[in-house]
Amino acid sequence: MRGLFITGTDTGVGKTVLAASIVAALRAAGEAVRPLKPVLSGLDEPSDPVWPPDHELLARAGGVDPDAVALIRYGPPVSPHLAAELAGRPIDPGVLRGQIQTLANGHGTVIVEGVGGLLVPLAPGYDVRRLARELELRLIIAARAGLGTINHTLLTLEAARSAQLDVASIVLTPWPEHPSVVERSNRETIARLGDVPVATLPPVSQPTPEELAAAGATLPLTDWLSSS
């Protein structure tokens, strides 16, 4: 399976915009790409007038049907293990993994976006980190650029490496046109202390495939995918 697994240091750090930017950039370059958000919660939240739900944004970037992106969906904006419990629809890890592998086969590059961070539970004894490990995809970690990101990012990096995940890069997002001294220091410090490449994603103001692709084109996608 060729592709990337996108995770974040927390919820709301921009990993869906990052994943969609990667998908849109690959598609604009003529590559067959399949976006997947295997588990999605929070569909009961009021819709944003500009930004669609995660699976719809990924679908828009990839030119596919949203129903083909999100395999398991829950309404409440809670951790997926709790959403599954509230809905009475538990997640079967083996079934989920098999669905992802089936959908990925024959579709060029697959971009899988996790839910929350690596240690978010999906089922008893099974979390996002284990799913990423079993899919054997290189990992991209989305992180904030500002104050507080060093600790969150290095902890996520440590959690990934303890499970022998292949971390291709950290991506700080959104990265301003004129970064502050703190933001520039954060990038250098994470790269040095984490011994990891650190890329940046510019702001995306509108959820259009064209703007997402332009942002994604600034990333070293060829390098990330060369070993996948």
* 92-125 per-position pLDDT tens digit: 999 999 999 998 887 689 999 999 999 999 999 9
d(CA 78, CA 64): 26
d(CA 63, CA 105): 18
Contact assessment for residue 113 and residue 35, using Cβ atoms and an 8 Å cutoff: yes
Q: How distant, in Å, are the alpha carbons of 6, 109, 166, 181, 210 from that of 195?
A: 19, 27, 13, 21, 33
Residue 208 has pLDDT above 70, yes or no: yes
With H, G, I as helix, E, B as strand and everything else as coil, classify residue 159.
helix
pLDDT value of residue 108: 86
H runs (alpha helix) in 74-127: 80-87, 93-104
Average of per-residue pLDDT values in the chain: 95
For 137, how many CA atoms within 13 A lie in the half-sphere containing its CB?
27
Active-site residue, from 15, 34, 37, 55? 37
- Please name the residues in contact with 155: beta carbons below 8 A apart, sequence gap of 6 or more: 9
Residue 25 has pLDDT above 70, yes or no: yes
d(CA 4, CA 139): 6
Q: Give tens-digit pLDDT for 39-94.
A: 999 999 888 889 999 999 999 999 999 999 999 999 999 999 999 999 999 999 99
**What is the residue whose two structure tokens read 């390098």?**
223
Q: Give tens-digit pLDDT for 132-184.
A: 999 999 999 999 999 999 999 999 999 999 999 999 999 999 999 999 999 99
Residue 228 has pLDDT above 70, yes or no: no
What percentage of the chain has pLDDT greater than the value 70? 99
**What is the residue whose two structure tokens read 């292949």?**
166
pTM for this prediction: 0.96
Quick one: tokens of 86? 């509230």
Q: Is the dihedral of CA 160, 166, 40, 48 positive or negative?
A: positive
Give the residue from 61, 10, 1, 9 showing the smallest Cα distance to 37: 61
| Long-range Cβ contacts of 151-158 (<8 Å, 24+ apart) | 152/9, 152/10, 153/9, 153/190, 153/194, 154/190, 154/193, 154/194, 155/9, 156/7, 156/8, 156/9, 156/117, 156/118, 157/194, 157/196
For the question of residue 15 being annotated catalytic, the response is no
Domains belonging to the chain, first-starting first, are 2-225 (3.40.50.300)
